[in-house]
Amino acid sequence: MNDMCKTKDIEEEIRAATKTCTNMLNYYATLTTFETAVAFQSRFCIRFKNRLRNMYGFQIMRRLNQILVRIKSMDLVRVIVDLQSFFPESNYLERQVNLPVRSNLEYLLVRMQGLSKLLLRVVYLTKEAARYHLKQIAIGFLYHMFSMFLGLMGELWLFARAVCRRTVQFYNELYPALAILPKAHKKWLPDGYDLPVNLADWLGEEYEREVLHICESNDALELGVNSNIFTLL
């Protein structure tokens, strides 16, 4: 849905929103390496489900696979394309243009909220699985298999953190556009629900700890709950 709006005082905001949509589309549509790692994860869960089904680390990998399937089913690229199609060309803006209604952007922002929470869960589960795999490697049990699993968990961990960070950045860039978009005839968000102004603040301490924190080179090696992939390796 879209509606006619005057561009006199909102030209810069329209251009900024259009640019962000383009950047998002370029970013999310080119995550082929991440998708390859996800495909390997799914294949491993199918290949070893009978042999390793009772092992704790493999059970974590199966839960991780379910979350990755949910992320893929969100099809965020399609949602971005739909929103972008409602925006006018930013090179030249006429005095009146058609803009998407506010609920179109709200829908995308809610999806980005969900994606960021799922990615945080991926970060947590990959770290838990890696901790288990490393312990198996330390005792020499199925060394080659668990080394392969550990490498895959490290790759997924890195990608999930990077994508989560960019998702937060894109959300914060898009949120101000809500103020310039026309309201829909029927409110889409439920009563009493307000989208957060800053997604990082909404994600809270977990985002700061799992995504923004950078391990110091002098951090002690540990296998406890506060360790990360780098200290594990």
Q: How many CB atoms neighbour CB 93 within 10 A?
A: 16
Q: Cβ-count burial of 137 within 10 angstroms (0-12 exposed, 13-18 middle, 19+ buried)?
A: middle
CB atoms < 10 A from the CB of 154, how many?
Answer: 19
Residue range(s) defining the domain that contains residue 143: 5-231
According to DSSP, residue 185 is labeled S
φ and ψ at residue 3, rounded to 5 degrees: -150, 155
The pLDDT value given to residue 1: 56
d(Cα 229, Cα 233) in Å, to the nearest integer? 6
How far is it, in rounded angstroms, from Cα 11 to Cα 181?
A: 12
Spatial separation of the C-alpha atoms in residues 100 and 233, rounded to whole Å: 47
pLDDT tens, the chain, 233 aa long: 555 666 677 778 888 888 999 999 999 998 888 888 899 888 888 888 888 778 887 888 899 999 999 999 999 999 999 998 888 776 666 777 778 888 999 999 999 999 999 999 999 999 998 988 888 888 877 777 878 888 889 999 999 999 999 999 999 999 999 988 888 778 888 888 889 999 999 999 999 988 887 654 444 334 444 444 444 44
- Predicted model pTM: 0.84
What stretches of 90-226 show up as alpha helix (H) in DSSP? 102-138, 143-174, 199-203, 205-207
Other beta carbons less than 10 A from residue 52's beta carbon: 20
Burial class of residue 164, CB neighbours in 10 A (0-12, 13-18, 19+) = buried
Read off the tokens for 61: 């990998």
Number of structural domains found in the chain:
1
